[in-house]
Amino acid sequence: MLRTSLIVGFPGETEEQYKRLYNFVKEAGFQRLGVFTYSKEEGTPASRYINQIPQKIKEQRRDKIMRLQSGISLNKNRELIGKTFDVLIDGISKESDLLIEGRYYGQAPEVDGVVYINDVSVGANSRSPLLKSGNFVNVEITEAHEYDLVGRTI
């Protein structure tokens, strides 16, 4: 699994350099990628550079790479359908009390997607001791989305 974070719009970044970065992201096929816009911080050497990139261009560059990455992520996640992972249970989902959410080894807390477990027997009324926060359960992936997975316990 490949993951990284990038900054676009550093002072002096040319359109050609940005295109090379875009093509690199396309070729590398990162499973997880964060893209941030350069932020001018007072007191740093880069804050005094004369070739500051306008905020609108920085945001356009970030958004274009993130659109590319969303397709890459979806394809990578689709490759996981039918596979089984040990999933660390986080608890009842923030999306619905009918779902349990957790993470497999490729998902970092608070920055990556989650695995939603949608068994009929789970949710707020589940009495299964296996589906309590902090436990690991085997989950077969049944659906893939851009950043999240859906599965069932096995």
DSSP output for 89-119: EEEE-SS-TT-EEEE-TT--TTTS--EEE--
Residue 64 three-state SS: helix
Please count the CA atoms within 13 angstroms of the CA of 72 that sit on its side-chain side: 22
pTM for this predicted structure:
0.84
> How far is the C-alpha of 77 from the C-alpha of 29, rounded, in Å?
12
Residue-level length of the chain: 154
- The residue extents of the domains of the chain are 3-78, 84-153
What would the CATH number be for the domain defined by 84-153? 2.40.50.140
Determine the pLDDT at residue 128: 61
Determine the pLDDT at residue 8: 98
**What tens-digit pLDDT sequence spans the chain (154 residues)?**
788 999 999 999 999 999 999 999 999 999 999 999 999 999 999 999 999 999 999 999 999 999 999 999 999 999 999 999 999 999 888 888 888 999 999 998 888 899 999 875 554 455 466 678 899 999 999 999 999 999 999 8
Q: What share of the chain is helix, strand, coil (3-state, %, to 5)?
A: 30, 25, 45
Of the candidate CATH numbers 3.30.750.200, 3.60.110.10, 3.60.70.12, 1.10.357.10, the domain formed by 3-78 belongs to 3.30.750.200
